[in-house]
Structure 1
Amino acid sequence: MIKCEKLSLGYDGKAIVDNLNFEVSDGDYLCVIGENGVGKSTLIKTLLKLIKPISGEVIYNENLLPTEIGYLSQQQQLLKDFPASVFEIVLSGCQSKVGIRPFYKKEEKQTAKEKIEKLGLLDLMTRSFSELSGGQQQRVLLARALMAGQRLMILDEPVTGLDPEASQNMYDIINELNKSNMTIIMISHDIKVALEYATKVLYIGEHIFFGTTSEYKKSRGMA
């Protein structure tokens, strides 16, 4: 699906991380871990084509369309107070497919309802987004991201700011998405979570590791 070769990432020509090599296949659950400031979010921005690598190459499967990629960022204060209903927020996830068309199709509205139901938000569909708890808001934004992409989901520390119960709920939902054959790339500061759910691990630090979860455990003497 995605192959990265000899990537050097950073800003203004100054590299944060060098010689990054890894591959993501259909159905993978890749967890990207490492300390703060090592380039994890920079990698995500590169994969989303928001910034260009300093050197190296990101190769996308020709069958992977931009409309098949969803993205969920960390919680943002600006979004927390957004004056729209849950349904409106989720429906806006298909905006890139709507283009200049000034209305949503019946099928798009139905899909939005299905995503809302899938994430257990049906009772909240008409509620204002700003009235919801942090965990509920992240589930709404995940539903929105699912409207944008059905095949690959990229998540940047999706449980930041959530309490333990809401965090576990998010992890369970993401795991179920992967089991339904959605490919997951997730940044996490929680190595325990990475080892519990991920099929592959990319560790970015002084040394770089890429391999299966069991290989990572062996490399750390945890097997």
Structure 2
Amino acid sequence: MDKETLLSCRDVSLGYEGHTVWEHLTFSVHSGEYLCIVGENGSGKSTLLKSLLGLLPPLKGVIRRSEAAGAVGYLPQQTQAQRDFPATVSEVVLSGFLSARGRRFFYSAAEKSQALMHMGKLGILELKDRCYRELSGGQQQRVLLARALCAARRLLILDEPVTGLDPAAAQDLYRTLAYLNKNEGLAIVMVTHDLQSALQYADTVLYAGQGKWFHGTTAEYLASPYGRRFGGERT
């Protein structure tokens, strides 16, 4: 069965202030795919995410998101100010519906039900009335993931989701993402510096570094000159 193309870049160049960081970039994200974007610091990973989210237009080429993809759930890197946000867990999760709510002042019963469902799915339902800033880093990431799920239809985009988490919380989050990908059918696009976990969970890898890029399956990446530098087999 052919998978639907949810997101595609065709001969795309990306950059800012006259500085090009990606050239002739071509790749697609399909339904149910798990893509990890890895590479060196300053290689343009954040620039790419902004462009995929429609926040930064390409210098050249075309980025398309299909109607089938619908709204995208986005989990950004947290700032310290965001970690101290004085709202309840329920309020944070429900804010994932803000763009869909339009001019309605209140959340609908269906939206409230969905928010509870996502909190239950991620094991944070008992925290729904707690203040967000009182939670641990791992709990906060689960809250933000529930918020992203409220916004998402078939695609999640995550920017360094395990930054600042202890190893146990990081692995717990990876297992949750793997469940959402394999059992819920959500396509995942994730920027990460955690190469070992990226190779463990990803179907495909997009590597960026030194003005070059590579896109292929995890096995193809490991066999490439970029992947061979990290050695070993998929763990």
TM-score range for the pair, normalised by the shorter chain length = over 0.9
- Cα separation, 2, equivalents of 1:90 and 1:114: 11
SS of aligned partner of 2:67:
coil
- Cα separation, 1, equivalents of 2:88 and 2:36: 32
Show the 5 A alignment for 1:63-212: 63-65=68-70, 68-179=71-182, 180-206=184-210, 207-212=212-217
| TM-score, structure 1 as length reference | 0.96
SS of aligned partner of 1:38:
coil
SS of aligned partner of 2:188:
strand
- After TM superposition, which residue ranges in structure 1, 4 or more long, deviate above 4 angstroms? none
RMSD of aligned residue pairs (Cα, Å): 1.2
- Cα separation, 2, equivalents of 1:7 and 1:43: 10
Deviates more, 1:10-19 or 1:122-131: 10-19
Q: How many Å apart are 1:62 and its aligned residue?
A: 3.4
Residue type of the alignment partner of 2:202 = A
SS of aligned partner of 2:68:
coil
Contact in 2 for aligned 1:13/1:54 (Cα 8 Å): no
- Cα separation, 2, equivalents of 1:194 and 1:59: 25
Q: How many Å apart are 1:63 and its aligned residue?
A: 2.7
SS of aligned partner of 1:63:
helix
- Cα separation, 1, equivalents of 2:131 and 2:95: 14
- Cα separation, 1, equivalents of 2:22 and 2:223: 24
- Cα separation, 2, equivalents of 1:75 and 1:139: 12
1:61 pairs with one of 61, 66, 84: 66
- Cα separation, 2, equivalents of 1:9 and 1:174: 28
Unaligned runs of 5+ in 2: 1-5
Partner residue, 1:213: 218
Unaligned runs of 5+ in 1: none
- Cα separation, 1, equivalents of 2:160 and 2:38: 10
Q: How many Å apart are 1:56 and its aligned residue?
A: 1.3
| TM-score, structure 2 as length reference | 0.91
- Cα separation, 2, equivalents of 1:31 and 1:109: 31
Q: How many Å apart are 1:13 and its aligned residue?
A: 2.6
Contact in 2 for aligned 1:75/1:161 (Cα 8 Å): no
Contact in 2 for aligned 1:71/1:155 (Cα 8 Å): yes
Change over 3 Å in CA distance of 1:93–1:62 after alignment to 2: closer
- Cα separation, 1, equivalents of 2:10 and 2:108: 40
SS of aligned partner of 1:23:
strand
Q: How many Å apart are 1:11 and its aligned residue?
A: 0.6
Contact in 1 for aligned 2:75/2:158 (Cα 8 Å): yes
